[in-house]
Amino acid sequence: MKILVTGGAGFIGSHLCDRLLNEGHTVVCLDYLSDYYDPKIKIMNVFHNFNHPNFIFLVKNVMEKDKLEKIFQKYPIDVVIHLAARAGVRASLEEPLQFRDTNVVGTINLLELSKIFKVKHFIFGSSSSVYGDNKKVPFTEDDLVDWPISPYATSKRACELYCYNYHYICGLNTTILRFFNVFGPRNRPDMAHFTFTQAIDKGLPIKKFGDGSSSRDYTFIEDIIEGIVKTLKKPLGFEIINLGNSHPITLNTMIATLEKALGKKAVIQETPLQLGDVEKTYADISKAKKILGWEPKTSYEDGVKKLVAWYKTAHSS
Ligand SMILES: NC(=O)c1ccc[n+]([C@@H]2O[C@H](COP(=O)([O-])OP(=O)(O)OC[C@H]3O[C@@H](n4cnc5c(N)ncnc54)[C@H](O)[C@@H]3O)[C@@H](O)[C@H]2O)c1
């Protein structure tokens, strides 16, 4: 298949491109190389594929519909996997308009072109953040998600609703995957797994928000990629599916696991909880098991060992 991966040079996107190429697909990797974090990191994420005959790399902005249209004209796209986004809960409190523009406008542009060019399957990378501060755990796909608590979460929920519009209007096969707190090699550098690993390794202080009892359903990158690939094979009309580990880890356990893997103690700076941060994420993954035959295979400890091994190769001085 010819697959358009937007945000293909990012953390999740670059792993996905590798896997799709390995499976024999042609990958049109589109990425604006935004400066939310160092664009050089994104180039490094995909550099090894530049000479691959089935890899097409395009530096383009999902907000520029005219330019996107030329891509759809040139390459007959079978499947769109839309991962390009402005990510990050805390940053969205500072720049809400940028999150609306990139995430919502970019998604509408791609949905519109998918409609016009009769794409067979549109897969959207959503987020557990749409569940807001849901008190009912684990989070299931039919929980009410009307109370997002950050502009990032709101933008992702808006995209989900647009996805449904396009499925309803033109029968576009659309699958929304709600990713839960992804971590692993090539980790996004603004996320706690990276910043904590780096700080502990260098003996610098880490900010521990709250008392350490908040928890996240950390999901290893290879498991997420497996879930996306299984989804690719199942254009099922319209579905929303959680991809999470279904095993929340407290902040205290996360720090202890990183300390163990790095063989160093963290220097902890106690910091109040941040606005926009939820108390817990916890995926019910029974739908993913039933529909996709998917479940995560990597334990949290093994995932952290792989993250640290990658970090030591890529970053240690
Ligand atoms: N990492 C996680 O834990 C997580 C959790 C839930 C959802 N998600 C979602 O998964 C997707 C990928 O996340 P990630 O962690 O790999 O983030 P990332 O920032 O590493 O990747 C996103 C990529 O999108 C690109 N991009 C940004 N704006 C663009 C634009 N206007 N046009 C084209 N490209 C643009 C960026 O350059 C970047 O390479 C995002 O949609 C994110 O919201 C991630």
Residue 14 belongs to domain with CATH number: 3.40.50.720
Q: Is residue 81, in this structure, part of any structural domain at all? A: yes
User: Which residue's CA is the closest to the ligand 1 atom numbered 8?
Assistant: 127
User: Which residue's CA is the closest to the ligand 1 atom numbered 26?
Assistant: 84
Confidence of residue 276 (pLDDT cuts 50, 70, 90): confident
Query: Which one of the listed residues 32, 36, 131, 152 is annotated catalytic?
Result: 152
Instruction: Give residue 150's domain range.
Output: 2-184+219-245+282-297
pLDDT of residue 113 exceeding 60: yes
**Cβ contact 293:236 at 8 Å:** no
pLDDT, tens digit (0-9, with 9 covering 90-100), for 281-310: 999 999 999 999 999 999 999 999 999 999
Ligand 1 midpoint to CA 10 (Å):
6
Ligand 1 midpoint to CA 139 (Å):
22
Atom of ligand 1 nearest to the CA of 37: 19
Q: Is residue 168, in this structure, part of any structural domain at all? A: yes
Please report the pLDDT score of residue 227 as a whole number: 98
Listed in sequence order, the residues at least 6 apart from 173 whose beta carbon sits closer than 8 Å to its beta carbon are 120, 121, 122, 167, 235, 236, 237, 238
Ligand 1 midpoint to CA 12 (Å):
7
Concerning whether 37 is annotated as a catalytic residue, the answer is no
Q: Is residue 205, in this structure, part of any structural domain at all? A: no
Confidence of residue 316 (pLDDT cuts 50, 70, 90): low
User: Residues 237, 138, 276, 209: is their CA dihedral positive or negative?
Assistant: negative
pLDDT, tens digit (0-9, with 9 covering 90-100), for 44-73: 999 999 999 999 999 999 999 999 999 999
Q: Is residue 177, in this structure, part of any structural domain at all? A: yes
Q: Which DSSP category does 275 fall into?
A: T
- Name the domain count of the chain: 1
Q: Is residue 255, in this structure, part of any structural domain at all? A: no
Q: Is residue 204, in this structure, part of any structural domain at all? A: no
Q: Is residue 307, in this structure, part of any structural domain at all? A: no
Q: Is residue 254, in this structure, part of any structural domain at all? A: no
